[in-house]
Amino acid sequence: MTQPSQQDSEATRRMPPNLPIPQLRAEFKGQVIGPEDAGYDEARIVFLGGIDRRPTVIVRVADEADVSRVVSLARESGLELAIRSGGHSGAGHGVSQGGIVLDLSDLQALEIDPQQRTAWAQTGLTAGAYTTAAGAHGLATGFGDTGSVGIGGLTLGGGVGYLVRKHGLTIDDLIAADIVTADGQLLRTDAEAHPDLFWAIRGGGGNFGVATRFQFRLHAVDTIVGGMLMLPATAEVIASFIAEAEAAPEELSTIANIMPAPPMPFVPEEYEVRLVVLAMMAYAGGAEAGERAMAPFRALAAPVVDMVRAMPYPEIYPPDDPNYHPLAVGRTLFVDAVNRHASDTMVEHLKASTASMAVAQRLRSCAPPG
């Protein structure tokens, strides 16, 4: 991911002629951005660094009709179509070399029904914006661990976050979706209407259409007990932390990062670059029960940093730095258990790594019972 791929280089050599940008501006309600426009470079940047692709045109759509026109444009021109929600795709799917970018970021309408505990949300919304709005009603849908991620890609990718053990994946709370299909039709899909399409977008892979709006289920989540807990990372502490996470009540979700302590202002100087368990904790329940659930983790070792406290749920998403574009490569695997032997191996590999910031992240995902 740190270097343009061979496919990117080949795409550069076959770059098609420029589309007629002035003509496209007359056809779309939304903003049409071409390579000669002042905002082009900013509009093509995605979250991850090292992805340097130059699309032929970026269309920041204003409504579903614009989405349908972009899909038709891609079909008629034969150009690759990239869909961008928040731009966090680890594979860089939010931007194309020489193709068309359909940017959903201006589609941010949100309708919350507190009585029915449902919400209709356009797919350009970020997880943080949705969570803040829902939090005003004491409600939440579980998203990922980063507020600036777009809900479009995150939802269709599954969505593992701070409510996963209590309320499941984000996709488990998807009730219905509005989809623009490859032939430009706008369809409402749910368990009754177009059920095969509804099945397909919930794990069948990609390229079934462009999702423009989701209906989500909301849960009563007001104040949580959560935040960052940082512990020294020995193999024993890692294995014990994971054992406690598995034994914890389902209200507690944890995301543990085994990594060198980052140079944050609140990290003691003597711990910088030493391996730590940097854990994000979230107990979706009462304050007293939440403190009891945290006690076994605090007892594993003297915390390096303990920022766990009662807070409104939206505060679990701190402000994001818009200029942060890390160079990263990652591998994902599933394991049944992380025992002491696995923890020893993890520590050995992290200490031997020459990466500027080597991290092993462990997410405990578990669908609610029943």
The count of structural domains within the chain is: 3
Are both 307 and 277 inside the same structural domain? yes
Q: Is residue 38 part of a domain?
A: yes
For residue 119, give the CATH number of its domain. 3.30.465.10
Which helix (H) or strand (E) segment holds residue 76: the answer is helix 64-77
On whether both 135 and 23 belong to a single domain, the answer is no
Q: How far apart are CA 261 and CA 267, in angstroms?
A: 8
* Same domain, residue pair 81 and 150: no
Instruction: Say whether both 242 and 322 belong to one domain.
Output: yes
Do 86 and 160 fall into the same domain? Answer: no
Which CATH number belongs to the domain containing residue 344 in this structure?
Answer: 3.40.462.20
Residue 223, Ramachandran bin (φ over 0: left; ψ between -120 and 50: alpha; else beta): beta
278: exposed, middle or buried (Cβ count in 10 Å: 0-12, 13-18, 19+): buried
Mark whether 264 and 194 lie in a shared domain: no
Residue 10, pLDDT score: 44
Looking at residue 12, what is its pLDDT? 39
Please tell me whether residues 76 and 118 are part of one structural domain: no
Q: Is residue 369 part of a domain?
A: no
Q: Which of 220, 248, 274 is at the close of a domain?
A: 220
Structural domain includes residue 370: no
Assess whether 171 and 238 both reside in one domain.
no
**Beta bridge mates, 6:** none
Beta-strand pair 57-60/100-103 = parallel
The side-by-side arrangement of strands in the sheet containing 118-122 is 110-113, 118-122, 210-217, 174-180, 186-190
Domain stops at, among 170, 188, 220: 220
Host H or E run for residue 84: strand 81-84
Instruction: Return per-residue pLDDT of the chain as tens, 370 residues.
Output: 334 444 444 443 344 456 889 999 999 999 999 999 999 999 999 999 999 999 999 999 999 999 999 999 999 999 999 999 999 998 899 999 999 999 999 999 999 999 999 999 999 999 999 999 999 999 999 999 999 999 999 999 999 999 999 999 999 999 999 999 999 999 999 999 999 999 999 988 788 999 999 999 999 999 999 999 999 999 999 999 999 999 999 999 999 999 999 888 999 988 888 999 999 999 999 999 999 999 999 999 999 999 999 999 999 999 888 888 988 888 888 888 888 999 999 999 999 998 888 999 886 545 443 3
The residue range of the domain holding 309 is 223-363
On whether both 170 and 150 belong to a single domain, the answer is yes
Backbone φ and ψ for 286, nearest 5 degrees, come out as: -70, 160
Same domain, 229 and 359: yes
What pLDDT does residue 336 have?
A: 82
**262 and 325 assigned to the same domain:** yes
Query: With contact defined as beta carbons under 8 Å apart, do 80 and 96 qualify?
Result: yes
Residues 357, 213: Cα–Cα separation, whole Å: 37
Q: By the 8 A CB rule, do 230 and 272 touch?
A: no
User: Based on the domain organization, do 192 and 235 belong to the same domain?
Assistant: no
Query: Which of 168, 199, 220 is at the close of a domain?
Result: 220
The domain that holds 17 is classified in CATH as: 3.30.43.10
Cα 303 to Cα 301: distance, rounded to the nearest angstrom? 6
Residues 218, 220, 224: CA angle, nearest 5 degrees: 120
